[in-house]
Chains A and B, each alone.
Chain A
């Protein structure tokens, strides 16, 4: 389906189309630059996200590995008691930052890793498997926060890349060629009209003589 239909071969239309072509070329250039920038940002971010994902999986595996011994040694009751004793609350802050015009989320955590003496449970009434499990869970929460922020930013950037790419491709393969074609058609039509007009004037002039 052509981008432009029912274009009248007038001079004003030609001027409009030329302006539109100019804008389209400029937009294409700008969007192409934005796309390159976004791709560079994704290239920079994706190894980090991959490393964070691997760390998250490793920490999750550690937690699962420790969960069975913790339940075996302490039982559900003692683990629940230790959980009720915890006084430090993890706070998660959500904010946004601008990356090439894309608003990406920034997730940060506060009080994620706590000192053993500040966790809330007494040292003398608990065992070291509880420390290990608490430490493993804190590490997991830390990894989740780091991964969640960057993974969300990456997913936003990828969506934006897809959207911009579609626009760039549309400008490159549909809009600009269509405008160029229309300009060409109008120019040809106008030249034809001019020639016709010239010939008509020539014949009028000849008849008068």
Chain B
């Protein structure tokens, strides 16, 4: 790239991107590093609380220390910090980037809305529901409290008329409640979430064209996970309602894959989708063995598929690590685009998950090596 070419492309980047991306890159540096994770693995719970109380979670630890103790304190502090961080990103994001951030955070809204609807339908006390809400989405705590106070599912849906998933909710619930309605609604909301995310990425954001292949691959992986889950725990024949469209493979491709009983055919399908290569890397990382090859990965995945079992969750976490590294790589190459923002949001999410995994591991008294397998670093 010549200097002129670089300079021209730099000038073409809107100032909003440069402003937000620079702030986010600086914030990303303050996230917990792998060395710090290694230190945390050897601490006990009280040292752990002191450590996070002196780092980015200072405010939450001090505010909540009177109401919660030990593991509950850690978990509540981590969740509240995640919600606060996401809200802060929303507040500093200008224009179109704010729309994208909002779209990304809708995931938490889906969780919260579905939880409130279930609480109302199954008459779970609002206090219990309030205790597990994660106000990291667009619906702020005040709005969530208003929804909690309503005692009818239809009224809750009417109250959400300005929310993105309102049309799905209103068309999904009519008349008396039927078993499985909420699960199917939740699936539809997530499918719409991915579809909206892809549509937004295509709508002209800096780096949108780069993030699309990543998103499509992530959708494929999510679908692969789900067909494993369906094969292990369900007798359902038509799996297309549970598949997310938008990936490289269509729901019909996954329907065909679902019925495969031949090893060669199955391995070829995974290999063509690029999943086998990723799985080989993940397996190698998990076993700390660089000699793991495609054949080992194929053998492993086929043995789980043939036995109607889900892949081990540690493998799934290792795959998540690979995806995160890939996203980080993209973010480094496209510094002033949506990529650093998404990369930071994902990193933050995994930081909270890692800290929670370490704390819970300490609570259950499991050894540090076992905890390490559950970290996405």
Residue numbers of A with Cβ under 8 A of B are 67-69, 71-73, 75-77, 80-81, 84-85, 87-88, 115-125, 127-129, 131-132, 135
Contact = CB atoms under 8 A, between A and B. Distances in A.
Contacts of B185: 122
A102 B249 CA distance: 63
B356 to A, nearest CB: 5
A10 B49 CA distance: 93
| Most A-side CB within 10 Å, residue of B182, B360, B374 | B360
Contact of A71 (B111, B115, B360): B360
Nearest to B352: A75
A73 B232 contact: no
Given A119-B183, A128-B228, A84 B119 contact: yes
Interface string B355-366: 011001101101
A118 B179 contact: yes
B230 A77 contact: no
B200 interface: no
Contacts of B225: 128
A84 B117 CA distance: 11
Give the secondary structure class of B's interface. helix
Interface in B179-200: 179-180, 182-187, 189-191
Contact of A131 (B118, B233, B317): B233
B364 A85 contact: no
Contact of A84 (B118, B183, B316): B118
Contacts of B357: 72-73
A87 to B, nearest CB: 5
B245 to A, nearest CB: 12
Contact of B316 (A75, A119, A128): A128
Interface string B105-145: 00000110011001100101000110010100000000000
A205 B242 CA distance: 116
Interface residues of B, number: 54
Given A127-B316, A135-B233, A67 B364 contact: yes
Contacts of A132: 310, 313
B316 A125 contact: no
Contacts, number: 127
Contacts of A119: 183
Nearest to B371: A72
A75 B182 CA distance: 22
B12 interface: no
A121 B186 contact: yes
Interface of B: 72, 75, 79, 110-111, 114-115, 118-119, 122, 124, 128-129, 132, 134, 179-180, 182-187, 189-191, 222, 225-226, 228-230, 232-236, 242, 244, 310-311, 313, 316-317, 353, 356-357, 360-361, 363-364, 366, 371, 374
Given A68-B360, A72-B357, A128-B310, 17 more contacts: A68-B361, A71-B363, A81-B115, A87-B183, A117-B180, A117-B230, A117-B236, A122-B185, A122-B186, A123-B230, A124-B186, A124-B222, A128-B225, A128-B316, A131-B232, A132-B310, A135-B232
Contacts of A80: 132
Given A81-B115, A85-B182, A87-B179, A117 B313 contact: no
A72 B310 contact: no
A178 to B, nearest CB: 64
Contacts of B115: 81, 84
A87 B313 contact: no
A81 B230 CA distance: 20
Contact of B114 (A73, A122, A128, A135): A122
B114 A71 contact: no
B364 A115 contact: no
A80 B76 CA distance: 13
Given A117-B230, A122-B183, A77 B316 contact: no
A81 B131 CA distance: 10
B132 A127 contact: no
Contacts of B356: 72, 75
Nearest to B228: A128
A80 B133 CA distance: 10
B361 A128 contact: no
Contacts of A69: 313, 374
21 contacts: A67-B364, A72-B364, A75-B75, A75-B356, A76-B72, A81-B111, A84-B124, A84-B132, A115-B235, A116-B234, A117-B242, A121-B186, A122-B184, A122-B185, A125-B114, A125-B187, A127-B316, A131-B310, A132-B310, A132-B313, A135-B233
| Most B-side CB within 10 Å, residue of A72, A73, A84, A125 | A72
Nearest to B374: A72
Nearest to B313: A129
A-B pairs with lowest CB-CB distance, top 3: A122-B186, A116-B233, A124-B190
